[in-house]
A = this chain, B = another copy of it.
Amino acid sequence: MSDVHIAGVGMTKFGASPERTARDLFAQAAGEAFDDSGLDPDAVEELFYGNFMGEFAETQGHQGPLMADAASVSAPATRIESACASSGVAVRYGVNHIRSGAADVVLVGGAERMKNLSTPEGTRALSAAADALYEVKAGVTFPGAYSLMANKYFDEFGGTREDLAHVAVKNHEHAVENDLAQFNRAISVEDVLEAPTVSAPFGLYDCSPMSDGAAAAVLVSEAFAEDHGMETDVKITGVGQASDSLALQDRVSIPETPAAVEAGETAYEDAGIEPSDVDVAEVHDCFTIAEVLALESLGFYEPGEAITAARDGETAIDGELPVNLSGGLKAKGHPVGATGCAQISELTKLLRGDHVNSDAVSDAEIGLTHNAGGTVASCVVHVLEEVDA
């Protein structure tokens, strides 16, 4: 498979944007990606756009053509929906489309508007990513589902609320100087432990927030980049996607995420690397336990062993494998349909040296993104590498 180069990335600040619709947010992100790439929207041959809850937040489906208009793109344009992995899948589809030879330039991205919903409305909308018949009707919400996973993890492998708290503390610390992040303030382990309970063992700071935001990337074929003398810095060398049963009750093991294992193995094989080759990672920490499960599924830790990674500083900015230098979903924010592509945007900047935290990973050559939908019923993994590494 030929490599696909990241010609440009763009991302709005995540947080509350009460006066801007998803189309406004995506127009900004796409515009920045075009500016970053030096390419014109006219060059785009296809748009893959991720969004999860537009029906609930804006009564708006059929967003492919709408977002093509917003981005000044005239090309086949389709909305991809895979819950919180929507724009991760959109990126993978874009990569595959270029690899197939069907196009040289694609726009990928996603947007989500959530802050205009009340907490009950937003919780209900998010629960559409779980099984409506067999989970939601039984009262499952996402904090509830992930807390089941955390409690079962504690049962099987050990671990404490304090271990999880270190994940949140680390990710907030990483976001302090990231202007695009929703939260720019450090928190302490005590803050996490003393916060109001959302669903035991999770307090408020174990949970990623509701966010508005958008992200976009312009992808080009290697041949196009060469022919046009483009000085790209980062390429996507591996992609993997996998699915699992939508409902937790149908899983063999609650505190494991085999879709992430499979997506990771596929991406590693595709890129021709091993987990140990990865220098920096952005993983889907929608809840603190989710980062732990991701690190184990991706082969960075054995099952049951990632629970102490943050506490021990191994995944901190100066650790062996810095994880979520963007702030992660926890502190950067989690406008769900934008998250997968936002990981690509942040990791691209980290690798090429123009992210606020780039200095900490100046030797990094290989990065990974892990984007999950629901309770990891969907997972997409990408491997990014420096072009001249």
Contacts and interface: CB of A to CB of B under 8 A. Distances in A.
A204 interface: no
A117 interface: no
A128 B246 contact: no
Chain B CB within 10 A, most for which of A55, A58, A69? A55
A288 B133 CA distance: 37
Contact of A129 (B53, B62, B83): B62
Nearest to A374: B62
B128 A61 contact: yes
Nearest to A75: B243
Contacts of A75: 242-243
A82 B55 CA distance: 13
Interface string A372-386: 011001100000000
Contacts of A102: 96, 99-100
Nearest to A67: B246
Nearest to A241: B76
B89 A132 contact: no
A102 B269 CA distance: 13
A60 to B, nearest CB: 4
Interface in A43-73: 47, 52-53, 55-56, 58-66, 68-69
A215 interface: no
Interface residues of A, number: 56
Given A64-B378, A65-B246, A374-B65, A59 B136 contact: yes
B89 A82 contact: no
Contacts of A58: 132
Contact of A128 (B59, B93, B373, B374): B59
A250 interface: yes
Given A82-B78, A82-B79, A100-B96, A243 B61 contact: no
Nearest to A250: B69
A68 B100 contact: no
Interface in A345-361: none
B62 A377 contact: yes
Given A21-B133, A80-B78, A244 B100 contact: no
A236 to B, nearest CB: 14
A253 interface: no
B78 A62 contact: no
Contacts of A93: 93
Interface in A110-137: 124, 127-133, 136
B243 A76 contact: yes
Nearest to A83: B62
A307 interface: no
A160 interface: no
B60 A132 contact: yes
Contact of A245 (B47, B69, B133, B244): B69
Contacts of A82: 62, 64, 78-79
Given A100-B100, A128-B55, A81 B69 contact: no
17 contacts: A21-B133, A55-B56, A59-B132, A60-B131, A61-B83, A62-B129, A64-B378, A65-B243, A65-B244, A65-B246, A65-B378, A66-B131, A68-B243, A74-B243, A78-B81, A79-B81, A96-B102
Which 6 A/B pairs are nearest by Cβ-Cβ distance? A100-B100, A62-B83, A61-B128, A76-B241, A55-B55, A65-B377
